Chains A and B, each alone.
Chain A
Amino acid sequence: GAGVSQSPSNKVTEKGKDVELRCDPISGHTALYWYRQRLGQGLEFLIYFQGNSAPDKSGLPSDRFSAERTGESVSTLTIQRTQQEDSAVYLCASSLVVGGTHEQYFGPGTRLTVT
């Protein structure tokens, strides 16, 4: 079946502009995650959505970052007034939650470059 998709695959923006990144999870997956990966580093957790529960936003680095999810469907991550340190690959993942286990399936990511 179709995997997690993300768009755009690449985004170049000027400092100070807003960007919106999109994630389409695997159909039926109730959990959705956003991560950020800076060059040569591991993944940083940003935000977690699970069903109709309140999202866990504890990983968002500043109030310039926000995310929404429509039901158990598409999610958008918005970065306002982008800064150069926001340059990174933004990865989305989705999963079923079975027995407390979150085996996550990742999308290809969006590479964001802020100039």
Chain B
Amino acid sequence: SQQGEEDPQALSIQEGENATMNCSYKTSINNLQWYRQNSGRGLVHLILIRSNEREKHSGRLRVTLDTSKKSSSLLITASRAADTASYFCATDANGDYKLSFGAGTTVTVRA
């Protein structure tokens, strides 16, 4: 069953704008990860945030985690056409190795 659920399902923005997507989950987690998928193939790991962290940055990416609300957000700043992809959050319930993925947010960056 899917633990993580992303919102919105789809997002269309102009190049240079910021994109924000959210992830909600149901059980306690050890960490939460965000992945990007281009053209329905392999996933690329973007960032991992541990349950005792509240915010993390990596380049143009900013991830927040609120364990009290069981939610996370991914912000992509100054978007580029190459950011067009599907973005998934994945959680490991209680440190389990089985990552649970949501259905993803499809982001389209218009030139």
Query: Closest CB-CB distance, A91 to chain B, in whole Å?
Result: 7
CB distance from A38 to the nearest CB of B (A): 10
Which residue in chain A gives the minimum CB-CB distance to B5? A42
A45 and chain B: residue at smallest CB distance: B98
Q: Is A43 an interface residue (CB 8 A)?
A: yes
Distance, CA A45 to CA B40, complexed state (A) = 17
Contact pattern, B 4-34, Cβ under 8 Å of A = 1, otherwise 0: 1000000000000000000000000011010
Check if B42 is an interface residue, CB within 8 A of chain A: yes
Tally chain A residues at the interface, Cβ within 8 Å.
31
Closest A residue to B4 by CB, please name it. Answer: A42
What is the total number of residues of chain B having a CB less than 8 Å from a CB of chain A? 26
Q: How far is the CB of B27 from chain A (nearest CB, A)?
A: 15
- Across the interface, do B45 and A50 meet the contact criterion of CB distance under 8 Å? no
Shortest distance between the CB of A65 and any CB in chain B (Å): 16
A72-91 CB mask vs B (1 if < 8 Å, else 0) is 00000000000000000101
Structural contact, A101 and B30, CB atoms closer than 8 A: yes
Q: Evaluate contact between B99 and A45: CB separation under 8 angstroms.
A: yes
Given known pairs A40-B103, A89-B41, the reply for A48 and B48 (CB within 8 Å) is: no
A71 at the interface (CB under 8 A from B): no
> Is the beta-carbon distance between B98 and A101 smaller than 8 angstroms?
no
* CB pair A48 B95 closer than 8 Å: no
Q: Give the interface of B toward A (CB within 8 A).
A: 2, 4, 30-31, 33, 35, 40-45, 48, 50, 88, 90, 92, 95, 97-104
